[in-house]
């Protein structure tokens, strides 16, 4: 993982050291907020389930815990959200407590950026709800 660039190698090293860490975000799906999100995005006011986009936004909070972690000290002004992959196990329910765990994997030093994945898994009261991978790219200075 050596690039010859001290700053890039330092960043890659911090990410590699975080490989065994986990970031956890716990929250409750707010029924009124989910309804407002559904209406804003064209689902209508009578939607009985939580729209997928609202659920994805909730899990992004765990990704942001990683991106703003003081020990990682990522240069946020050079970070780009490069890709997203989500796999839904089931819909979220209004009022449900969710626990999202995030971890850093797949660190790759490339010519113009350091790429890494933030893998998330979100569980509700009765098991898995959503799994995701947010690929990030930190551009070289």
If you average pLDDT over residues 4-30, what whole number do you get?
A: 85
Give the pTM.
0.86
- The superfamily CATH assigns to domain 6-139 is Hotdog Thioesterase (3.10.129.10)
Per-domain boundaries in the chain: 6-139
User: pLDDT of 41-80, one tens digit each?
Assistant: 888 666 677 888 888 888 899 999 999 999 988 888 888 9
The string of DSSP codes covering the chain is: ---S-HHHHHHHHHHHHGGG--EEEEEE--HHHHHHHHHHTTS-TT--S--HHHHHHHHHHHHHHHHT-TTTT--GGGEEEEEEEEEESS---TT-EEEEEEEEEEEEE-SSEEEEEEEEEEEETTEEEEEEEEEEEEE--
d(CA 109, CA 12): 7
């Amino acid at each position: 993982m050596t690039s010859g660039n001290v700053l890039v190698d330092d960043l890659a090293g911090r990410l590699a050291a975080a490989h065994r860490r986990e970031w956890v975000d716990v929250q409750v799906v707010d029924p009124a907020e989910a309804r407002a999100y559904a209406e804003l995005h064209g689902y209508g006011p009578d939607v009985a389930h939580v729209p997928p986009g609202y659920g994805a936004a909730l899990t992004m909070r765990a990704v942001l815990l990683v991106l703003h972690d003081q020990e990682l000290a990522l240069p946020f002004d050079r970070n780009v959200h490069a890709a997203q992959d989500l796999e839904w196990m089931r819909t979220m329910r209004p009022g449900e407590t969710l626990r999202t765990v995030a971890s850093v994997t797949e660190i790759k030093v490339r010519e113009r950026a350091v790429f890494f994945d933030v893998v998330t898994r979100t569980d509700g009261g009765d098991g898995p709800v959503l799994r995701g991978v947010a690929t990030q790219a930190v551009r070289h200075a």
